[in-house]
Structure 1
Amino acid sequence: MAFLSIEKLVKTFGTQTTVKGVDLAVERGEFVTLLGPSGCGKTTILRMVAGFETATSGTIRIDGKDVTDLKPNQRNIGMVFQAYALFPNMSVADNIAFGLKVAKKSSAEIAARVKEMLELIKLPQLGERYPYQLSGGQQQRVALARALAVKPQILLLDEPLSALDAKIRISLRDEIRAVQRSLGITTIFVTHDQEEALSMSDRICVMNEGHIEQLGTPFEVYNYPTTRFVASFVGTLNIVNGKVADSATGKLLVDGQEIVTSRSLNGASTGDALSLALRPEALTMGRANGLSNNLDGTIDEVHFLGSVVRIRVKFKDSAISLDTFNKPHLPPPERGQPVTVNFGREDILVLDGAPN
């Protein structure tokens, strides 16, 4: 049995159902991310696991125990909020010690645990400071230490990095993951940031409109999306319209140019319209032979992004973007320049549903 088991979980607010029969099994020590756009139900699930929201129906079990109807203080849960939620009138040490004092631990045990947590978050000298004297990243570390101090069974993280600037966010997500691994604590992380999800997670649960679209490892979710929503939401994606030229051999036409996919055309017939997806990093410029596909077009836009140059190539009716690394000795192509884009047969994703 999974350490955290969510079965047929439903949450309704008035006439609106926010979570629609979600099933999720999380193993002990696993780091699982709930990823999706605002309003998809990910935070509502987190709050139901914590006990801050009551499930309309369904079951939540932790280590085999049914906690669905228990109050938050009856569950051994640690939670880190987006807005830190530190007590402004308490020192860093007192904030970390708060849950331990509520649990009536001895003074010696509290002091030892606070010291351990300060070391863990790499702020051993800042115990006497107050939250307003800390940076945003330091405050979020203190919030993490406070959640971990009580030795919870499960750690819940509700978009804890969204209020931080980019560089601090990258650094802190690495630290959070390192702490989680060192403690082996089962963790549920909520975010709308796909890069955070891909870089931190053991598995990603992609959510949309209250249900799970796909559950898998970052590698699986990014490279093998099972729905159109997942393909478009996770990572940068080119979507072009194609027509089936020969379903038996996987031949397709894009703006009159023939390409071949190694994937199933799902019973499509000749002449059917399909949506095709290509990742920018799968594309290169220059004609290739063998099993590669070639599309001839012209350079439409060139965007210099520092280490990466994003190039938009226009065909007759379609356009795709591809990424190349910046090479100081090799200037990027110019607008209007003819170019051939090539990619492998296995790089084509055939999306469900007809083109919009």
Structure 2
Amino acid sequence: MSFLTLNNLKKSFGATQVVHDFNMAIDKGEFISFLGPSGCGKTTVLRMVAGFETPSAGSIVVDGKDQTNLKPNQRNIGMVFQAYALFPNMNVFDNVAFGLKISGMSKADIGTRVKEMLALIHLEHLAERYPYQLSGGQQQRVALARALAPKPQVLLLDEPLSALDAKIRVSLREEIRQIQQKLGITTVFVTHDQEEALSISDRIVVMNAGKADQIGTPFEIYNRPTTRFVASFVGTLNVLDAVVADQGAGLVKIGDKMLTIKEAISSANGQTIQLAMRPEAGTLSATDEATVHGQVTSSQFLGSVIRTRIDVAGKTLSFDTFNDPGIRPPVVGDTVGVKIDPSALIVLAD
């Protein structure tokens, strides 16, 4: 049985509907990421769960109890915001203790709980410092500890890493995931960063125009997108034109090469369809085995990976290969062939 259930949620601001019939069942202890571009409705859904927005329709159920019309302070939910939102006139200890004091917990119990939280985020030595004396990463860890201190049923994180530099973001997202797994708390994380969502989530909700385009594991979202939007939004995507040669057998023709793909084809023989593939699904090749040939327009050395862009009949395709110190990487102007793994091709629906 799911722990957090969102049933047919809708939200309108005036005549504009920003969330359309949103449904999801989240298990206890699951880490869910809402991923999508600005304005897709992901933060609005989060704010409805928190109680900061009232749904225009639908219901929010936590552990079997309907919380749709409860005020934020009547819900046992912790929230971490994009802006750290720490109290500037309180030190770290008092910031973490704030919610506990409001709840009426005894001073002795507050002291014990705050020490537990500071140990969890490894900031015991900074208990007496004020927010202005902390780095951005430290402030966000304090905000996380403050949200977790009252032992909420659900933890909500609204783009908590977006104000941090790249290196700190990576280390802090890993720390958040470790803490979440240690506590076993049901967590909903909002982000527009694909790498963040793919790296730490149990499941991802890819949102588009107020709807969930696809819900699945990171592996499913990346490798088996079910809509054109998901395929293009998550990761880099190549799109190839192919002619259906034998619908039932999955046989298609790309250029002058015939390939058998695993994906089901709904178009009739002779029709042109579009196939998507990730940059890592092709292998640079100079042999007759190559599926397509083209001219290198750019070659980017990214350390462990070399990303090569190739012009194939006026269409630019990107391919990633691992760096091999013994092999010269392609240079602009080279004519190269690319052998495509047919099992990695995805049929794009209209």
Cα displacement (A) at 1:258: 3.6
Residue range with higher mean Cα deviation, 317-326 or 26-35:
317-326
Query: Counterpart of 1:62?
Result: 62
Q: Is the 8 A contact 2:35 2:194 kept in 1?
A: yes
Q: Per the alignment, do residues 256 and 318 of structure 1 end up closer, same or farther by CA in structure 2, a change over 3 Å counting? A: farther
Q: Does 1:305 align with 2:297?
A: no
Match of 1:7 in 2: 7
* Contact 1:293 1:344 (C-alpha < 8 Å) held by counterparts: no
Partner of 2:273: 274
SS of the residue corresponding to residue 6 of structure 1 reads strand
Q: Deviations over 1:69-115 (max 9, x none)?
A: 00000000000000011011110110000000000110000111111
Point out the more displaced range, 338-347 or 66-75.
Answer: 338-347
Deviation at 1:10, TM superposition (A): 0.4
Instruction: Choose 160-169 or 340-349, whichever is displaced more.
Output: 340-349
Tell me the equivalent position of 1:346: 343
CA-to-aligned-CA distance 1:285-315 (integer Å, 9 cap, x gap): 12689xx872222222212223321101222
| Residue type of the alignment partner of 1:350 | V
1:160 corresponds to which residue?
Answer: 160
Q: Deviations over 1:132-152 (max 9, x none)?
A: 100000000000000000000
Q: Retained in 2: the 8 A contact 1:293–1:345?
A: no
Deviation at residue 5 of structure 1 after TM alignment: 0.5
Q: Give, in whole Å, the separation in 2 of the partners of 1:94 and 1:33.
A: 30
**Amino acid paired to 1:314:** D
Where do 1:40-59 residues align within 5 Å? 40-59=40-59
> Aligned AA for 2:139?
Q
Question: May I ask how many residue pairs the two structures share in their alignment?
Answer: 350
- Partner of 1:136 in structure 2? 136
TM-aligned CA deviation for residue 320 of structure 1: 1.2
- Higher mean alpha-carbon deviation, 250-259 vs 135-144, is at 250-259
Equivalent position of 1:207 in the other structure: 207
- Change in Cα spacing, 1:272 to 1:228, as seen in structure 2 (3 Å) is same
Question: Contact between 2:30 and 2:185, CA under 8 Å: does it hold in 1?
Answer: yes
The alpha-carbon distance between structure 1 residues 145 and 276, as it changes in their structure 2 partners (threshold 3 A), is same
- C-alpha contact (below 8 Å) 1:255/1:316 kept by paired residues: no
Which deviates more, 133-142 or 308-317?
308-317
Contact 1:297 1:338 in 2 (8 A): yes
Are residues 1:318 and 2:285 paired? no
Taking the aligned partners of 2:348 and 2:39, their CA distance within structure 1 comes to 24
In the superposition, the TM-score normalised over structure 2's length comes to 0.96
Which consecutive residues of structure 1, in runs of 5 or more, have no partner in the other structure?
A: none
Partner of 1:16: 16
Question: Residues 8-27 of structure 1: CA distance to partner in whole angstroms, max 9, x if unpaired?
Answer: 00000000001101001000
AA aligned to 1:106 is S
Q: What amino acid maps onto 2:345 in structure 1?
A: I
Does 2:205 match 1:224? no
SS across alignment from 2:116: helix
TM-score by length of 1: 0.95
3-state secondary structure, aligned to 1:38: coil
Whole-angstrom distance in 2 between the partners of 1:191 and 1:344 = 31
**Residue 102 of structure 2 corresponds to residue 102 of structure 1:** yes
Aligned to 1:184: 184
Q: Alignment partner of 1:108: what SS?
A: helix
Helix, strand or coil: the match of 2:337?
strand
Distance 1:264 1:230 in 2: 18
Judge conservation of contact 2:92–2:129 (CA < 8 Å) in 1. Answer: yes
Matched position secondary structure for 1:125: helix
* CA shift in 2, pair 1:204/1:293, >3 Å: farther
Identity value in percent: 59
Q: Quick check: 1:255–1:318 contact (8 Å CA) kept in 2?
A: no
**Structure-2 separation of matches of 1:315 and 1:260:** 21
1:34 aligns to 2:34 (yes or no)? yes
Query: How far off its partner does 1:333 sit?
Result: 1.6
Q: How does 1:288-299 map to 2 (within 5 A)?
A: 294-299=291-296
* Contact 2:254-2:291 at 8 Å conserved across structures: no
Q: How far apart in 1 are the matches of 2:129 and 2:29? A: 32
- For the 8 Å contact 2:34–2:190, the answer to whether it is kept is yes
RMSD (Å) for aligned C-alpha atoms: 1.5
In 1, Cα distance between equivalents of 2:161 and 2:280? 27
The answer to whether the Cα contact below 8 Å between 1:298 and 1:314 also exists between their aligned partners in 2 is: yes
